[in-house]
A and B are shown apart, each in its own frame.
Chain A
Amino acid sequence: MKGRTLALTGWVAAGVLLAAAPARPAEKRLFVFQGETLVYSYDHNQIYGEKVAFEVLGYKVTAAYFKGDILSRQVLAYGNVTLTKDAEKIEVDELVLSLESMTGTLVRYGPTIETSPLSAGAAGTEGKPEAGPAAVPAAVPAGVFDGINLDKIKKSFLSFSARTISLTESFEVQGTGVTMYLEGIESMGFKRFRLSDGVGPRRNGFAVNRIWYNKTQGLIGRASYSIEKPNKVASLTQLNYEERSFLKNNHGIERQVDLLSSTTLTFSETLRMGFTGNYNSSSQWNVQTWVGKTWSPAFTTQFDFSYNKPVSFRGEAWLGLQSQLSAGPWGNLAVQGRYELRNQAVAGLNYGVSFLNHFSLSLQSYYSRVKIGDSRDFAEIFTGGLNLAYSSRLFNLGTDYFLNYDLFGGQVLSQPQLRIGLNPIVFYGGLLSFSLNNIALYSHIGREGLAERSFSDNAVLSLAIQPVELFKDLRLNLNLALEQFVEREGRNFTTGGIVFNAVRKIGEGFSVEAYYSLSSRRRTRGWLIEGTTSQDLSLVARAAVGDAVNSWVSVSYDAKNAQLRQSFADLSFKVVRNWSLHAILNYDFFLKKLNNIDLYIVREAGRLQFRLIWRSLSRQFLVEFVPR
């Protein structure tokens, strides 16, 4: 009972706090729209209004109708549009505004369609629209506004009506005198409410991003502080807090605090410096500072110093250097090295180049000397790799060499590899396609004077037939594959397989598919031949009728033992409005049991999806808002 009370209180507090405090109080409002009717759809990020008034470029604007599409940053005022500034008065049929560029176009529908630009100084050359048929298409983006109307907003999952709606610099939508509607049904009123997050860059200041409650994590708080001065400073500090002490079944830590901070200073176009720091209340923390220098567009270097304090271990202080050089046709080179004050070190080198149109070469080398736990011993490993590849229209050829030298354990792994592949060749006008690939691998492991060698070769041949229309509404597909695996130890495997697929359309939106696969794997060792053969047969029925039904059901059959095995179903139906029902089921014929049912009730809501989910395996009921 206590838990329930707390949960309810948490929800109310969260909602109220979010409503009460606009997240970015420092942000300037670009527009304030007032209207006799003013509604906003969260799903579609669109506004519709009637008898509206607002100010733009120094003009007071009134209009009979108003539409706003925040995503495309366009608004349209139409119907007896009047713009007044001091003694100047302009009357037009439409005003189209681009919020991003702060430019406007005035439109009048007379004997021709007349347009003129709206600027802070004057509208058109003499304050009146000019005839300009050629300019109209760009000025009147009909497609953007055609889809905005009151009924569409009313049918949104989440919508609001408000006395005023304002837009901030980052296109956050705020409202006053707000009523919130869920599926068009009034649910709650607010004096002031943030209707939608902005999508622009985060502005300076403190923000409470989230205060929430759930019964597994308890009370959750997220806050951030940011400073941004273009081309000078960008800093973001985030505080995450979770309080679980009051949870009835809490067995873990009572609370957790995370503090994450990152700052970048830009001194010039070629010189930048950064600081990051992270702290977790479980006593682990780390800090890093770095300086990045761009010597030329092709050559960059970064120095860094970091200190990392893990839980239960001593902290480590590392100095690092990374450099990258792009030498055009001569290739790209990257080197990095890091040294720790207790004599640990890591270093790496990467080089890659393409030449003579068809060849590519890459080289990697790494060295690491790191402590084993808190002991005095070091693990010391050197690895290297070399790859040379040739590719042409007909075939591709590649050779690799990999070396791993464990200097502490005294073990060396050396592994050359050769790959050759014949690109698919088509016959009979594309009906048949043939390809062949071979990989040969040699391994040498040396340790304390002992050597272990192994060799293997794997050849894969495949033959595929393009889908064939046998009759009207019947299509066949066939694939054959043969694989030979040879080992130095004499263990040889031969694998062959065939996949047959037929699709039959049985009406508009309905089809039945049959799959048959036969595969056999044989192992030969001296005179002994052993192996397995398997057959699979499955049938799939599909139904796709517009967006109302989109489902399939499959049944698999074990031809060898003549018995049904499994059935899977993925059923999706549109129920009403934008609500749909989705079910995923799995039935095991052998165990005669329904293994799994996942049920989804989904509401498509423009830029988000609302889902109620029941999972039988975990016996979980979930409520999700998924951004699209």
Chain B
Amino acid sequence: MSSQEEIRLAGLTVDFDGRFRLTDISWTIEVDQHWLIVGPNGSGKSALAAVLAGEGTHLAGTKSGLPERVALVSYERQAELIEAERRKDDADIIDVVAEGTPVAEVVDAVCQDNQLAQTLVDTLGLRPLMGRAFRKLSTGETRKVMLIRALTGKPDLLVLDEPFDGLDHDSLNWLQGHLRELARSVPMVIVLNRFDECPDFVTHIAYIDNGQLLHRVDRTDERAFAGLHQLLHLKTSDLEVPKADPSISLPPLEQGEPLVRLTKAAIRYHDNTVFENLDWTIEPNQHWQLSGPNGSGKTCLLQLITGDHPQCYVNDIEVFGFQRGSGESIWQIKQYIGYVSTALQWEYRVGTGLRNVIVSGFFDSIGLYSKSTDTQKAIADEWLALLGMTDRADQPFNGLSYGDQRLVLIARAMVKHPPLLILDEPCLGLDDMNRQLVLALIERICTSTETTVLYVNHRVEDHIAGIKNHLTLSAPPS
């Protein structure tokens, strides 16, 4: 590989015409590394690639080590080139019909390796088009021209944004083989929508979402690689959130009835009062975030709603049309609620398979003690597919990583499409990757179901889109 220095972006914030912004990007591309950039649609993959080619307006941060000749192949570059050709026409004041620049000229303009260029022209089937005006080519054809320019320009850094898009099978094979050769001497950064197209010479993967570079993963780190794979799957898969079991229907709530109404609620022990005089009403489809310092009684408050706190019987609580303490059973209440918390995860120490764990959500049990229907099992399998865990349906739950357990428990909570989903610090104890996996799942649930979400979390950055109501408990009196 050519002698060069590492490329370093530090705290870089870049604006793209006010339409998009990359925020606080810190990224080091060391010598001998080849990177793949992945992320959901609109996350900033192309923008990040373009920054390496010097595009965008820098608002903050620094970048260093970028080589002089950076070749970028992207749809944006392609559009610019075509636009430039068009402007040439417009600028022409001579009254003749402009033919536009021929393809051969466009190729020659940056070519440093004529022999390679000729091989590429033949291999990519462009020979018959060499005399034609560049702007008259089809999109696929201009794409190939862009690739030839990039590859023959002897770049010091090759940045390819979706290079395999629209290539026929033979061209694709040839290009992949050629890139593998080239990788010995030229560092590459490649943007792809799909992991499975990742060339084998790629050494590192960058994951970007919402204009932020969230993960930088060494390909040899199998756990992180698998996590990234799962994250991308959750963010980009076309799979829908599985439907509820049509054979189970809860008695509907009366029109205008809130899901939860607490009146002057209090939790008191003989030597202290956790909170008192708390009024709270949760209307259907009104998502809430609950916050407060440790000891302010957040979990107690949730347990008053779920019926897990024994003092729910001495408070004025109406949940899902039941006045608590009027002869209802907690199993009637729990039918309406999906619940996820760290404590639940601690309790859920079972060796049963993942499918059974998800099915247990239909019965609100820890472990499965009832016979489940084929429909319920099929729904559980759909959830596993959404989580990207289809091949693990029968693996024991307690053998999963902590983060995967959390995902499965969220699926368990949602499997019955409860009117109320309570997420008590769902990201607690999770590393960054797993946090984002959990948030990605919750976001999908929030946007595609009728479930009202009650979310407890401290971290501002774990905010979930669509939650507009906040209840903050104050610290207990010392």
A binds B: no
Interface residues of B (CB under 8 A from A): none
Interface residues of A (CB under 8 A from B): none
